[in-house]
Each structure stands twice: as structure tokens, then as C-alpha cells.
Amino acid sequence: MHIKDGFLLRETAGKFIVLPLGGELDLGSLITLNETGAFLWRILEDGASREELLEALLAEYDVDKERAEKDLDALLAKMNAVGVLED
């Protein structure tokens, strides 16, 4: 999976915001990410499987696998809900 064209990650005042390019801005689909979410976003820009994302999380952060899987799945579900990801 990877990030669809037309979405951009920007850091503003220490917050990471996903912005849609062109078209009308729907504030209901606005995504804000923490540092970990931004880390995963950058990996997804080049394409990655869920397993690759999980491996990257476990290598980069001091987190147990169960918690990493739960948080990763929540982030991917949120991104899918607003149409940011494609296979």
C-alpha cells in the first residue's frame, strides 16, 4: 500500500497535518499525525506492506508488538476511511 497522489504531509508548529492538494478542503477528513504517524507516512510514500510498517515501528520505537499492531491498525483504518491509501 502507499499514499495516493494528491496528499501532502506538512509540519506546522510541531504538529503534522495531512493536506489534500487541489479540490475543496473537507475538514471532516483532515488528518493530524503525531511523530510516529509521520514516521509511518514517510515509509508509506514509497510503498510498504503492513508487515514492513510493523517491522519499522518495532525497530525505531521501544514498543511491544501487541501495542504496535493495535496502533498501526488504528492509523491504517483512519487513513483508509478518508481515502489516503491505495494498494
- What tens digit of pLDDT does each residue of 56-74 get? 999 999 999 999 999 999 9
pLDDT for res 27? 57
Angle between helices 65-81 and 35-45 (to 10 degrees): 70
CATH topology of domain 2-86: Arc Repressor Mutant, subunit A (1.10.10)
Virtual CA dihedral for 81, 44, 1, 32, nearest 10 degrees?
0
* pTM value > 0.85: yes
- What tens digit of pLDDT does each residue of 17-52 get? 998 887 665 655 578 999 999 999 999 999 999 999
Contacts of 51 (CB under 8 A, 6+ apart): none
Strand order in the sheet with 7-12: 7-12, 15-20, 31-33
Domain residue limits, the chain: 2-86
